[in-house]
Structure 1
Amino acid sequence: MHMGGMGTAMMKHVMKQKNVDSLPEMLALAQAGGVKLVACSMSMDVMGIKREELIDGIEVGGVASFLGESDDATMTLFI
């Protein structure tokens, strides 16, 4: 939830209170552990997000490429 910016601030506060790593820290740990992160090209287009705005190491692909690559994966998460 965004709630005018308050949603992000509230989540960060609760995560810190509960001693949970920040989202950037969790993403870095996931990437270091070999997790492949792929941003949806259609969602990026709809939301006006450019490739240059993504964090390093994020690939861009569509549903078809996800389905093709997920055949060999042991685990997938499509959000």
Structure 2
Amino acid sequence: MVDEASKVDKSTIIVHSGDMDKIYSALIVSNGALSMGMEASLFFTFWGLQRLQKGGLDKGPLSKMHFLGLGKWMIKGRMKKANVASLERLIKDFKELGGKVIACEMTMEIMGISKEDLDQDLITEYGAVGTYVQEARNSKITLFI
């Protein structure tokens, strides 16, 4: 068992959802951790992994009030007015700040997603549950989004 004192100043987030607002949440929290000097890992699995497909980062619906795309369009407009960075900018910043993006190999197999289907510029490494557990067991912050 890892005691609290031996944990690294690090955050690890399971990105299970592909909903646009949840991807934003994961990236904003992770970029915040990195900007405060922490390490950060994002473990993309199930519907979250679909956002790592080529051209897929911004394709997810809103988790609430999607309204056949109208809600997402309205939210994106409000975010633009508030100067909120795009998902593409957030993940680019995340990688440049040293964040780690892990693609779940089990999910790839289950959903029939190959490495060629994924945007290689977004992914740091591939791994399975053991990879996530190792990241999380040494983290002070762990989240499931």
Q: CA deviation at 1:60?
A: 2.0
Corresponding residue number in structure 2 for 1:62: 128
Unaligned runs of 5+ in 1: none
Work out which of the residue numbers 34, 41, 45 in structure 1 matches 2:109. 45
Relative distance call for 1:25 and 1:72 in structure 2 (3 A) is same
Report the aligned-residue RMSD. 2.8
Q: Identity percentage over the alignment?
A: 38
Distance 1:19-1:4 versus aligned 2 partners, 3 A rule: same
Higher percent of residues as helix:
1
- The count of corresponding residues between Structure 1 and Structure 2 is 79
Mapped to 2, the partners of 1:17 and 1:68 lie a distance apart of 40
Cα distance between partner residues in 1 of 2:73 and 2:110: 25
- Gaps of at least 5 residues in structure 2 are 1-18, 20-60
**Aligned equivalent of 2:77:** 13
Work out whether residues 39 and 60 of structure 1, in 8 Å CA contact, stay in contact via their aligned partners in 2: yes
Give the structure with the larger strand fraction.
2
Residue type matched to 1:15 in 2?
A: M
